[in-house]
Amino acid sequence: MIKYIGSKRVLVPHIVRAVSAFPESGRILDLFSGTSRVARGLKESGRYVIANDHLAYAATLARCYVQADAERWRAQAASLIAELAEVEPAPGYFTKAFCEDARYFQPHNGARVDAIREKIATLLLPPELEAIALVSLMEAADRVDSTTGVQMAYLKQWAPRAFNDLELRMPAILPGPGESLCLDAVEAASQVEADVAYIDPPYNQHSYMGNYHVWESLVRWDKPATYGIANKRVQCREYKSDFNSKRRIRQGLEAVLDAVRCPHLVVSFNNEGHLERDEMVGLLERRGQVGVVAVDFKRYVGAQIGIYSPNGEKVGRVSHLRNKEYLFVVSARQASVAVVCEAIEASIEEAALASLRSKGKRKGHEPERRAER
């Protein structure tokens, strides 16, 4: 999957364990699905998942990893990806915007992205097949980019991976049904009934539209005007979300919590967010009993690499390399909340022990995970 700030990669097993511990958990709503890591993990556990995100690239990831049934689409997708891999490079909008005017990718890879994306646009594919092709292209481009993991800037010096040739691969789609929605969070929350809602809203001033504007433009293929050194799509200037505003985040969350039609909630929120832990508990208590488990883990990849200016030059120092992700559990009965919190803690304990037993950890493996109430 693509590099992503706020990715729940290390938390997915704990979230799946949490959801599984509720009395009913067959139908799940992931309201802010992002890369669909969590939604895919829940689908893999045998649940019916409805994944929602209002950004086009995120909804496309969900259409690939949640909605597409591998038993129906894998063979066609493999044939399509093999066909797209043979398309001759042809520089166009993507190369100009993101390889020449900005330096996210080497021009030879940009020309391949242009040609493949134009080919996809001409094929008039079914939604699931188009999504698989677009995700294959997005992930291929992500493997040869030159960023710290977000697209607010590119590196001043080319990342070594940027010199590799772009290579399409088959996304790891799963068998079974699911749904992908591209709606505002309140709209999705008011329309979908499920047993459990997983809610992982943006938590600070940086919008995901701005952080991943290249993927948004690649998926929409609307070839927008751009601005600034980072060459963001002009839509980023007008894009406003309550969740990116310290002043408005409370009202945004209140609207979602009032709209959601699920008896049980699991809510992720970071200790670097606009709301403190106790403020979040106060908001969630309108929906029932609340329990909290805090998970200590490494910050996103960009923090490990350092802070960069808009023109890709390393500046300043990172203040800290670890943070906490709070998992809030909400249900009508305190006993249910306690069972789910205990399941999360057991999952974290098992992961920590497994990590200690593994001496040959791969680079980037999370060596320390601690739970606290």
Q: How far apart are CA 137 and CA 131, in angstroms?
A: 10
What is the reported pLDDT for 365? Answer: 41
What is the reported pLDDT for 366? Answer: 45
What is the reported pLDDT for 312? Answer: 52
What is the reported pLDDT for 316? Answer: 56
pTM of the model: 0.89
What is the reported pLDDT for 309? Answer: 56
H/E segment holding residue 44: helix 37-44
Instruction: Determine, yes or no, domain membership for 3.
Output: no
Q: Give 10-residue mean pLDDT values along the chain (373 residues).
A: 79 96 97 96 98 97 98 98 98 98 98 98 98 98 95 94 98 98 97 97 80 97 96 90 84 95 95 88 96 80 50 54 87 97 94 76 45 56
What is the reported pLDDT for 21? Answer: 97
Instruction: Determine, yes or no, domain membership for 189.
Output: yes
Find all residues with CB under 8 Å of 208, minimum gap 6, and list them.
34, 55, 58, 202
Considering its fold, how many domains does the chain have in total?
Answer: 1
Instruction: Determine, yes or no, domain membership for 85.
Output: yes
Instruction: Determine, yes or no, domain membership for 1.
Output: no
Domain with 352, as residue range(s), is: 9-372
Q: How many CB atoms lie within 10 A of CB 129?
A: 19
Q: How many residues does the chain have?
A: 373
Residue 45, judged by CB atoms within 10 A of its CB (0-12, 13-18, 19+), counts as: middle
User: What are 29's two structure tokens?
Assistant: 């709503």
